[in-house]
Structure formats: structure tokens, C-alpha cells
Amino acid sequence: MLAGKALGGLCLDPQNASPGPFVLGNGDFFIEIPVAYGCSYSDITLTGANGTAMPDASDLIDKAIETGVESRMCTAIKVACYYLEAGLVRKPDLIITSNSCCDAMDTLGNLLNGYKPWADVPKFIMDAPHSFDEESYKYMGKQLRHAVTFMEDVFGRKMDWDRLREVCVLSNKQDQLLLEFQELKKAVPCPANPDLSRLGFAYDRWTGERVSPQITDWLEQLVSATEERVKAKLGIEGVNEKVRFLWQDLAGSWPPGTLWPRLQQELGAIAIMDYMSYCTLTPIDLTSEEAMFTSFGKRFLLEDPMNRQALHTTDFFCNDILQIVKDFKCDAVIMPAHIGHRDTNSRLKIVRDMCREKDIPCLVLGIDIWDKRYMPPDVVFDRISTFFQTTGLV
């Protein structure tokens, strides 16, 4: 029931979700800002990713390929490029772009910024550095602060700073609940479908109800129901848990609905964690405006899923893997190695070597998490099944 509500929220077209000015970006933005300002924010990459989950995804992806931006670009971003070039995206009132989290997003940002029909739309560009130290947080924070000033200049009204603080307090509360649910997932057997972390995050950040009291209610229900299940030592309904694995990538559009349920049902294997599910959010510091924006910057660079995994060093990426395996008692690591992820595909040897050294079974797939035609779900299932068998996990 809870999953259904989140999925329903996700299906709501975020481009039409909120009243007020329409801000379009190529990636995640510090969502508390548009919520507090009273404008909608849509991430065109997310729109592209959602497109790959549609019933006509194959046709859509084929059209995206024909658009011809770059033949091996991430499919979700190709679809986003197609939507843009085909004139299917509502004209925004403001465009905000950054290079996070990858070159393909950068390219999409350039397409957005150079899109001729929108030449008159004001544009704000940010630089996300590939580092996570105090200087970088402040640097990112300053840009986010400048983004607010830019919005004020474009829309002719000031940010309500009290409202922004209210939204941040709500956001902190919701993030705390996400963390609590995450803690509960450490129980063996896992008490609830771990994908609810990912859905919860997405519901909280990407839907029309983002950072609203409805989200808090949803998360409180989730945590409360899960706590009861932990006390009763219950696992996921209908699943005989045998293997817990880390899916070290984005979930994608087809694996959560096609592959993961089958792995649960047939092998008792649950994807305990993926990029989006991994919550590392620290509270937004509200002690001063500078502290607030510095913590926004830290969130953007270090804690925002995908930015966290893609922007930084391989050592950092590997440390996350080890931490998750330890904390969530993972039996294995599966690297989907999505074909559009240049960072992941540049790290495979180091990850494999590390897993071998630490005696962690590791499987690298090489799939397209947005286009199941590239490596069909059945083939992926067989590979994972064989992997689990040969490593003695099932």
C-alpha cells in the first residue's frame, strides 16, 4: 500500500506538478529551494528515465537513438535529449544546469542551454567539483546561494527565508525518517522491501508532493510498520531470505519491477541497497545563512545519490561498498556496470580486486539499466543465479 502511494506520486508529471514558475534542470537541484520559493522544479534527466519505464519505451528509445547526440550515451539521457529536441518539454521560466553527475548530464545541460526555441529563457549554470572538502562545500554552497539571487531577479520576488527554514526543518525530519528506515533494514531477515528506501527518497525529492507533510506521514507510517516487523522478526512477505546483495548502481527502470522480484521469489535474494536507497544525509545546518548553504553544498556533492557515487574518487566509491557490505550484512556485490556510466566502467578492476581481497563475491554484468533489450532480464537473471550458485550462496 505504501509502495503504491509512492509510485502514484512518481507517475505524476513533475512538470505540471506545482503552481508558480516552472524551473527546469538537467539534474538534481537542492529541492528545498524551489519548494520554499513556491516554484516547480523538474529534472529533465528524470523525465527521460521515467520515459524508459513507459509501455512504449522501446519506440521511445529508438527515437532517442535516431536523434543522434552520441551513440553510446546513457539511454535515459538520450531519451531526455529526444524529448527536448522533439519539442515535447514545456517551455520553462528558468533553466538551471550543472555538470553533476556525469559527462552525459553535462552534454544534456549544453543542449538545454543552447536550445534555440528557449534562447530567451534565463539560464543559471553551476559547477559541481569532483571533491568533498570544506572548500568545495562552501564553493557549491555559494553557487546555490547565487542561484537563489538569480531566481529572485528573474521572478521579481524575494525568497521567504523563514519559509526556507521551515522547509529545511521538514526536510531534516524526513531525512531522519529515511535514515531510521535504513537502520531497520540492517535486521536479518530484512523486515520490509528494501526498495521502499529508493521509493521513499524519490517520493520525497522528485514528486509534486516533495518535502510536504504528506511525505512525513508516509515515512512515519513506513518506519512504524517496519519497526513492528523487526520486533516480530518478520522478513519480507512471501520471501524466504537467503542472499542479501548490494546493487551498486542506480536501480534503473526495469530491474526493480522485473528482475528484483524474481530474484526475491525464486532465489530468496534481495537487493538490500542501491545508489538511491543509500541514505547518507546529514541535517541541514540552520545556524546561519552561510552554514545553511554550505550544508546544501555538502548535500549536493557528498550526499545526493549518484553525485556521491559518480563525482568522486574510486577509493571513496570502494569505501562505500565495504561500509554497506559490513553494515547491511551483504553476501555479495553486484555491479550492473550500466553501459552509460563512464565512471563505473572506469573502476571495474579496482572494485573486483578489492572484493577478491576482502573475500566478497562480486559479479559485474554490463547491462543497460534503462533498456532491457540490451541484455534481457532473463539473461541477467540467469547470470546472477549462476553467480549465486557458483559462490555457494544458494
Question: What values do phi and psi take at 22, rounded to 5?
Answer: -110, 115
Neighbours of 57 (CB within 10 A): 21
Between CA 226 and CA 135 the distance in angstroms is: 39
What minimum distance in Å lies between the beta carbon of 34 and other proteins? Answer: 20
- Helix %, strand %, coil % of the chain (to 5): 55, 10, 35
Instruction: Decide: is 258 part of the binding site for other proteins (CB under 8 A).
Output: no
Q: Which stretch binds other proteins (CB under 8 A): 105-113, 158-166, 179-187, 286-294?
A: 105-113
Instruction: Decide: is 178 part of the binding site for other proteins (CB under 8 A).
Output: no
Q: Which of residues 62-81 bind other proteins (CB under 8 A)?
A: 68-73
Query: Which residue number, 51 or 141, has a Cβ lying nearer to other proteins?
Result: 141
- For 370, the 3-state DSSP assignment is coil
Query: Which residue number, 34 or 297, has a Cβ lying nearer to other proteins?
Result: 297
Q: Which of residues 353-382 bind other proteins (CB under 8 A)?
A: 353, 366
Q: Which residues contact 124 (CB under 8 A, 6 or more apart)?
A: 94, 95, 96, 97, 146, 147, 150, 151
Among positions 8, 20, 114, 213, the unique one binding other proteins when judged by CB under 8 A: 114
What minimum distance in Å lies between the beta carbon of 161 and other proteins? Answer: 22
Q: Which of residues 83-102 bind other proteins (CB under 8 A)?
A: 97-99, 102
Instruction: Decide: is 20 part of the binding site for other proteins (CB under 8 A).
Output: no
Q: Do the beta carbons of residue 337 and residue 344 sit within 8 Å?
A: yes
Q: Do the beta carbons of residue 281 and residue 274 sit within 8 Å?
A: no
In the DSSP assignment, the letter for residue 212 is S
Beta bridge partners of 246: 273, 333
What minimum distance in Å lies between the beta carbon of 13 and other proteins? Answer: 25
Instruction: Decide: is 289 part of the binding site for other proteins (CB under 8 A).
Output: no
Beta bridge partners of 98: 126
Distances (CA, A) of 14 to 22, 50, 60, 369: 10, 11, 19, 22
Between CA 74 and CA 55 the distance in angstroms is: 19
Count of positions (residues) in the chain: 394
Among positions 56, 134, 135, 153, the unique one binding other proteins when judged by CB under 8 A: 135
- Grid coordinates of 62: 529508438
Among positions 3, 10, 63, 131, the unique one binding other proteins when judged by CB under 8 A: 131
Query: Which residue number, 128 or 246, has a Cβ lying nearer to other proteins?
Result: 128
Instruction: Decide: is 151 part of the binding site for other proteins (CB under 8 A).
Output: no
Among positions 23, 57, 126, 177, the unique one binding other proteins when judged by CB under 8 A: 126
What minimum distance in Å lies between the beta carbon of 88 and other proteins? Answer: 17
Alpha-carbon 351 to chain mean position: 21
Query: Which residue number, 88 or 350, has a Cβ lying nearer to other proteins?
Result: 350
Q: Which of residues 305-364 bind other proteins (CB under 8 A)?
A: 310, 313-315, 337, 339-343, 345-350, 353
Q: Which stretch binds other proteins (CB under 8 A): 37-45, 119-127, 259-267, 269-277?
A: 119-127
- One-letter amino acid of 337: A
Q: Which of residues 37-56 bind other proteins (CB under 8 A)?
A: none
Q: Do the beta carbons of residue 259 and residue 377 sit within 8 Å?
A: yes
The residues of the shown chain that bind other proteins, judged by CB under 8 A, are 68-73, 97-99, 102-104, 106-111, 113-114, 123, 125-131, 135, 139, 142-143, 146, 310, 313-315, 337, 339-343, 345-350, 353, 366
